[in-house]
Structure 1
Amino acid sequence: MKILAIVPALNEADNIGSVVQNLRSTSPWLDVLVIDDGSTDETAEIARTHGAKVISLPVNLGIGGAVQTGFIYALKNQYDVALQVDGDGQHRGEEIKKLVDPILLGETDVTIGSRFLEKTSYKSAWPRRLGIYLLSKTIQSVVRRNFTDPTSGFRAYNQKALRIVSAHYSTDYPEPDAIVTLLKNRLHLIEVSVEMDPRLSGNSSITPFKSGYYMFKVSLAIILNSMMSRIWND
């Protein structure tokens, strides 16, 4: 089975080496692809030094465009499973088998690593936790399914799911909207409980102001997406 870890990264020179090293040491059976999203630092060079494949985008596309580039690469190169892993060190390589195994066993099309499905050591500020809860309720209102961690970027997809997300994926803050897209196209999604860490260094790009914009934009996208027709037919 061919398995690919897609790691979007923007100016993550301080973190990307540790991320790639962790993935390759804990899961030597997967390939690592770093999508350098127009970085102005040495993200691409450091990723290559640690053994990752690298695609350097000439301009910054945002998280959605970077991850979708990885989806298209995985589909064209006939990977059986593609993982989405953050470039800031929040996602542990040790947890990858929890995401991959249900797909390899044919139990689901997509797995989502959740910080909140069960009690874990992860701590988050209450405004962010509230935002995640509200997004979860928005999704539940349109798909009649509850997802405890809809913003999680720690996910795995089989080829059927890759055909969907490689064709339709929001430009920024895409994870909650993608849940609606995948369910609307009759794919099976499950959450699995995983441990996550704070980012290794640096600051999140989501400021308090951006958090409010994020909530409004993503909630609107979820509602509009639920009204659209399916992307493809069986």
Structure 2
Amino acid sequence: MTQLHVLLPAYNEEAALNTLIPEFHALGLDLRVIVVNDGSSDRTSAVAHEHGAHVIEHPTNKGLGGAIRTLLDHVITTIPRGDILITMDGDGTMPPALVPHMVDRIHQGADLVIASRFVGGKEIGVPLIRKIFSRGARALFTVFTPVRGVTDYTCGYRVMRAELVHDLAAMNPGYFEGQGFTAGTEMLLNFSLIRPDLRVDEIPLELRYDLKAGESKMNVSRTVRQYIDLISRAHRARRQVHPA
């Protein structure tokens, strides 16, 4: 029977996880919650354990890219290809209530489903600089490295077939090169390279940044530079795979 696995990177997210994990369990689905405690200095690990999550510990902070890589390593060593993965930020800004609808899209034939701000979604409490950043990234990826069906390249709220991660690991054991906030986007681009017929669906996301318990961990200027580097690398890789 297909099982759902929630993959949560978490750095000092005790307050968010105290609400987020029970919301997942309240969905009434057959799911496991897996948390990477990325060197937190608060009770992130304890709270995740208290709510029945499987916790993987990073003794020191490795950043979002490192936490995602650890989660993907866990997938390929313990989770069958036929299962379904759910990824999202661990900060409480994204509603678990969308999961049943996203899983339905997988059962209807999608390989990957993205909760998108740009297909009828909303952003509440998002700082202007973050809005400019996400829209700028969307425009650049759409022009230089488009993926059919995708409008939101930077949102980490996704539901996907576990086989995508298994296949990516076989082709690229490191999954992606980036270490920071570009990791999820680069992984999406790599999925589209290894599977040209990738079917991506999107559903509307109401991003509740006003519910964020702590400060953002994103350094915007550094992340912009990382995304520009990613676009350059991804564009070259795509030309190698699909030369003009």
Q: TM-score range by the shorter chain?
A: 0.7 to 0.9
> How far off is 1:123 after superposition?
4.4
Instruction: Give the match for residue 242 of structure 2.
Output: none
> Is the 1:110–1:189 Cα contact (8 Å) retained in structure 2?
yes
From 204, 211, 216, the equivalent of 2:225 is: 216
From 175, 191, 198, the equivalent of 1:182 is: 191
- The answer to whether residue 154 in structure 2 is matched with residue 151 in structure 1 is yes
From 83, 96, 100, the equivalent of 2:99 is: 96
C-alpha change, 1:67 and 1:213, in structure 2 (3 Å) is same
Moved more, 33-42 or 66-75: 66-75
- CA deviations 1:22-50 (Å, max 9, x no partner) are 11112442110111011122111111011
> Is the 1:180–1:226 Cα contact (8 Å) retained in structure 2?
no
> Is the 1:9–1:36 Cα contact (8 Å) retained in structure 2?
yes
Instruction: Give the match for residue 10 of structure 1.
Output: 11
Q: 1:10-159 counterparts in 2 under 5 A?
A: 10-79=11-80, 80-106=83-109, 108-120=110-122, 122-145=124-147, 147-159=150-162
Moved more, 187-196 or 9-18: 187-196
C-alpha change, 1:184 and 1:72, in structure 2 (3 Å) is same
C-alpha change, 1:200 and 1:144, in structure 2 (3 Å) is closer
> Is the 1:99–1:192 Cα contact (8 Å) retained in structure 2?
yes
Q: Structure 2-normalised TM-score?
A: 0.84
Kindly report the root-mean-square deviation, in angstroms, between the aligned alpha carbons of the 2 structures: 2.2
> Is the 1:8–1:34 Cα contact (8 Å) retained in structure 2?
yes
> How far off is 1:121 after superposition?
5.8
> Is the 2:66–2:179 Cα contact (8 Å) retained in structure 1?
yes
Q: Which runs of 5+ in 2 are unaligned?
A: 240-244
From 209, 215, 232, the equivalent of 1:203 is: 215
Moved more, 34-43 or 114-123: 114-123
Moved more, 73-82 or 153-162: 73-82
Moved more, 220-229 or 22-31: 220-229
The one-letter code sitting in structure 2 at the alignment partner of 1:216 is R
In 1, Cα distance between equivalents of 2:99 and 2:41: 29
> Is the 1:67–1:84 Cα contact (8 Å) retained in structure 2?
no
The one-letter code sitting in structure 2 at the alignment partner of 1:172 is G
In 1, Cα distance between equivalents of 2:228 and 2:201: 21
